[in-house]
C-alpha cells in the first residue's frame, strides 16, 4: 500500500483507521472520504466529500490521487439495517459494487470488512470454522455474505486483489458505534463512569465475539501487507480476540468499580440478532496464513477503556 483511499472514513472504524494509516504511510498518502465533511480528518490530511454510491465521483478521486488501495468501510449496521433493510442493501452493496468496479478499472486492491453477522442460526455456535454454512437472518448479514462472494468473484474473474476479515463486535473509546448489536459493550463502559449503572439491551447469557479497536486496526494493515502467495483464503478471514456475555463484562468492570450495577431491558430485535450469531470464532486460518495474533484481552481492555473514558468525559 502506497496511496490509500478510505471510503466511509467518518464511521466507527474509518475515523480511527484513517489516523492509524496516516501514522504508518504519511498524512498525504491516505485520502479520507465520507458523505459529509469530517473536520478532524480534513485537518490531518487529504479529505474529499464523496457519496460512495456515485461511481464516477469515486473513480475521479482514485484517479486524481493515484490511489492503489481502497478501504471500503461504508455500511449500515445490523440493528439499523433491520429497521430499513432496503436502504441497507442499497447502501452496503452499492458502495461495495462501486469500490470493486473502480478497483478493477484502476488496478487497485480492495479491503472490505465482513462480520460475525455473516453467520446465522445454522452455523456452528462455538469456534465457528473459517469455512462453514452461512445463512444469516439479517439484511446486514446478507450484505456481508454477498460482499464476501462478490469480492472473491472479482479476484478470481478479474484479478482484483481483494482481502477481508470478519470482524467481531468492535469496542473503542474514541468513536461511538452507530446501531450495531454489540454496541452495548461500548456503552456499558461510558455509563459505568457517567452514572455507575447500565441497562443492557441484550440477554445476560448471550456470548458474542468482541475485539478492541487497536487489534482491529492492526489486523487491517497486517492482512493488506501479507504475502499474497500465502493466502489460501481471501474473503473473508475469521479473526478473534475475546468472547463474553454481558454478565462477564459487568463482573470485569465491578473489579474496578465495585458499586457498578446493571439491569436489563432486552430489545427483541437485538436479542434475535445476538442469538443468531456465533459464540466464538475459530481464527486458525488467519493465524496460519498471515500471522494474525490478538494483543488485547478483556482485563487489559477494561483498564484501558475506563482510563480513556474518564479522561474524555473530564474534558467534555
Q: Where are the domains of the chain?
A: 4-168+213-238, 170-209+242-315
Of the candidates 20, 140, 189, 212, the residue annotated as catalytic is 140
- pTM recorded for the entire structure: 0.93
Residue 180's pLDDT band, with cuts at 50, 70 and 90, is confident
Provide mean pLDDT across the span 182-205: 95
- Mean model confidence pLDDT for the chain: 95
CATH superfamily for 4-168+213-238 is NAD(P)-binding Rossmann-like Domain (3.40.50.720)
Convert the pLDDT of each residue in 220-233 to its tens digit. Answer: 999 999 999 999 99
Q: Is 140 a catalytic residue?
A: yes
Convert the pLDDT of each residue in 264-313 to its tens digit. Answer: 999 999 999 899 999 999 999 999 999 999 999 999 999 999 999 999 98
Looking at the chain, the whole-number percentage of residues with pLDDT higher than 90 is: 91
Please check the confidence at residue 101 and state whether its pLDDT lies above 70: yes
Provide mean pLDDT across the span 154-181: 91
CATH topology of domain 170-209+242-315: UDP-galactose 4-epimerase; domain 1 (3.90.25)
DSSP the chain: --SEEEETTTSHHHHHHHHHHHHHH-GGGEEEEESS--HHHHHHS-EEE--TT-HHHHHHHHHHHT--EEEE-----HHHHHH-HHHHHHHHHHHHHHHHHHHHHHT-EEE--EEGGG--TTS-SSSB-SS-----SSHHHHHHHHHHHHHHHHHHHH---EE-EEE-EEE-SSS---S-GGGHHHHHHHHHHHTSEEEESS-TT--EEEEEHHHHHHHHHHHHHS-GGG-S--TTEE---EEE-HHHHHHHHHTT-TT-EEEE---HHHHHHHHHS-S-B--HHHHHHH-------HHHHHHHHHHHHHHHHHH-
pLDDT at 316: 58
pLDDT at 291: 98
Amino acid at each position: 500500500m502506497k496511496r490509500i483511499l478510505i471510503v466511509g472514513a467518518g464511521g466507527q472504524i474509518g475515523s480511527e483507521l484513517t489516523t492509524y494509516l496516516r501514522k504508518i504511510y504519511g498524512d498525504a498518502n491516505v485520502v479520507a472520504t465520507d458523505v459529509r465533511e469530517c473536520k478532524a480528518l480534513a485537518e490531518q490530511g487529504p479529505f474529499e466529500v464523496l457519496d460512495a454510491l456515485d461511481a464516477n465521483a469515486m473513480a475521479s478521486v482514485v484517479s486524481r490521487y493515484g490511489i492503489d488501495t481502497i478501504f471500503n468501510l461504508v455500511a449500515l449496521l445490523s440493528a439499523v439495517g433491520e429497521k430499513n433493510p432496503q436502504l441497507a442493501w442499497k447502501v452496503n452493496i452499492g458502495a461495495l459494487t462501486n469500490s470493486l468496479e473502480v478497483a478493477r478499472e484502476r488496478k487497485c486492491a480492495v479491503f472490505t470488512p465482513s462480520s460475525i453477522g455473516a453467520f446465522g442460526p445454522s452455523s456452528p455456535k462455538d469456534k465457528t470454522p473459517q469455512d462453514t454454512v452461512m445463512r444469516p437472518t439479517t439484511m446486514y448479514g446478507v450484505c456481508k455474505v454477498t460482499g464476501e462472494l462478490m469480492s472473491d468473484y472479482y479476484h478470481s474473474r478479474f484479478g482484483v486483489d481483494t482481502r477481508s476479515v470478519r470482524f467481531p463486535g468492535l469496542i473503542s473509546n474514541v468513536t461511538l458505534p452507530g446501531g450495531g448489536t454489540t454496541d452495548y459493550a461500548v456503552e456499558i463502559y461510558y455509563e459505568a463512569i457517567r452514572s455507575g449503572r447500565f441497562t443492557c439491551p441484550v440477554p445476560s447469557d448471550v456470548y458474542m465475539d468482541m475485539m478492541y479497536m487497536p487489534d482491529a486496526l492492526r489486523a487491517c494493515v497486517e492482512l493488506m501487507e501479507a504475502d499474497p502467495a500465502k493466502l489460501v483464503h481471501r474473503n473473508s478471514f475469521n479473526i478473534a480476540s475475546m468472547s463474553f456475555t454481558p454478565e462477564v463484562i459487568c463482573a470485569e468492570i465491578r473489579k474496578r468499580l465495585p458499586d457498578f450495577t446493571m439491569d436489563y431491558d432486552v430489545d427483541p430485535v437485538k436479542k434475535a440478532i445476538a442469538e443468531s450469531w456465533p459464540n466464538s470464532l475459530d481464527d486458525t486460518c488467519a493465524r496460519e496464513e498471515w500471522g494474525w495474533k490478538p494483543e488485547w484481552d478483556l482485563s487489559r481492555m477494561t483498564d484501558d477503556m475506563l482510563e480513556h473514558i474518564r479522561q474524555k468525559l473530564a474534558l467534555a
